[in-house]
Amino acid sequence: MRLEARGQTARGWLIAAPFAAVAVTLAICSLFVAWAGAPLMPTYAAIFDGAFGSRFAWSETLTRATPLMLTGLAVAVAFRARLYNIGAEGQLYVGALAAVALGGIAEVASLPPILVFAGMLAAAMAAGALLLLVPALLRTRLGVDEVVTTLLLNFVALLFVSMMLDGPMKDPAAMGWPQSVSLPDTLQLPKLIERTRVHAGLLIALALAVLLWGLLKYSTFGFAARAVGANPRAAAFAGVRVERTMVIVALLSGALAGLAGAIEVMGRTGYVTLDMSPGYGYSGIVIAMLAGLSPLGVVLASLFVAGILVGADSMSRAVAVPTYIADVIVAVALLSMLVATVFARYRLRWS
């Protein structure tokens, strides 16, 4: 048995790969379900039901998918240019913190809300972008591996947020909990559906997905980013400004992840805590890979991951399988997708 390079990958393969990966993932995870002693089909049915089975289930999934879409887009655009941004988690937190730092000041209440909104989003994007700018410059100028720097900066960012929440930004009314002040109601994103948590952030995320898709496909910047990602030497030879492109991609990616934090705060939680993100930044990597780094694919992939997370919650109440199965499914999905991308380039030959 050996691997043999395919001359050309059929389009169909690229589209089928994520679905095959998900199917394999569910097959592998059946073993864990069986291990937990639960019946297989009812467990998966319960996850599906909890994710997409009712209006409420849909609303919860969409709410969860909103930040995931944004971190997924952040990772997808960076990976396209072969800038391996593993730091979306940290960028999300500093974005959230920046948004609240601006919106939480009592004095801004007198300003028109639309201005404050824009200011908060801009602050969050700037914070996320700056946090990724540092590793990007280290990479382009000094050749420092950005996988290491962005990954480690996550912990720096989280500890910084922790410091702020326990210090200058601590809410005096929170009875000692390390959390920021709550945003006033006027500074929270409007709900899209009554009596659910789905908020206008979903529309922002969807719009950005379409925008980013167009940008990558049609713009000269998108061409440069894809060229740099596919072959930096040839791109440089053809006159693409590789360093500049990398830096712009980094700013864009960091801004998207920072925006995820702001939108999560403004749409769902209302204040920053240290557990506001159950790893949205890391799940963004899984989503981007499942999406084949396509911004439109990110929308579908984030619905899948959000559905698993939400569905597993309600499933665990019905069947005796711990919610951790969701994390296992998401992690196995990433591994399956990586294997699927190998098979998109190579085929197995039996000899």
Partner 1 sequence: MRLSGITKRFGSLLANDGISLDLAGAEVLALLGENGAGKSTLVSILFGHYVPDAGTIEAFGAPLPPGDPAAALAAGIGMVHQHFTLADNMSVLDNVMLGTEPWWRLHSQRRAARRRLMETAGRFGLAVNPDARVGALSVGERQRVEILKALFRDAKILILDEPTAVLTPQEAGGLFATLKELVRQGLSIIFISHKLPEVLRVSDRIAVLRDGKLIDVRDARHAGEAELAHLMVGREVAPPQVRPHAVGALVCELNDVAVGGADGLAGVSLALHAGEITAIAGVAGNGQQALADVLFGVVAPDRGTVRVDGRALPATPRAWIGAGVARIPEDRNAVGTIGDLPVWENAIAERHAGAFARHGFVRRRAARAYARRLVQRFDVRAGRGVDTPARALSGGNLQKLILGRALTGDGDEKIAHVPKLIVARQPTWGLDVGAVAFVHQQLLDACAHGAAVLLISEDLDEILFLADRIAVIHRGRLTEARPANAWTASAIGLAMAGSSATEHADAA
- Residue 241 phi, psi (nearest 5): -80, 95
CB nearer to partner 1: pick between 229 and 270: 229
Q: Nearest approach, Cβ of 9 to partner 1 (angstroms)?
A: 8
Which lies closer to partner 1 via its Cβ, residue 152 or residue 242? 242
Closest separation in Å from C-beta 338 to partner 1: 18
- Give least dist CB 49 to partner 1, A: 41
Q: Is 219 left (phi over 0), alpha (psi -120 to 50) or beta?
A: beta
CA-CA distance, 249 to 245, in Å (whole number)? Answer: 6
Taking the least distance from each CB to partner 1, the nearer of 39 and 214 is 214
Distance CA 50, CA 79 (A): 32
Cβ atoms of 95 and 128 closer than 8 Å: yes
**Smallest distance from the beta carbon of 92 to partner 1, in angstroms?**
28
Nearer to partner 1, 214 or 322 (CB): 214
Question: Which amino acid does the sequence have at 81?
Answer: A
CB 238 within 8 A of CB 100: no
Tokens matching residue 331? 């992690």
Min. distance of Cβ 77 from partner 1 in angstroms?
Answer: 16
- Nearest-angstrom CA–CA distance, 209 and 222: 14
- Binding residues (CB under 8 A) for partner 1: these are 4-8, 218-221, 223-224, 226-227, 230-231, 233-241
142: Cα within 13 Å, side-chain hemisphere = 9
Would you say 229 or 261 has its CB closer to partner 1? 229
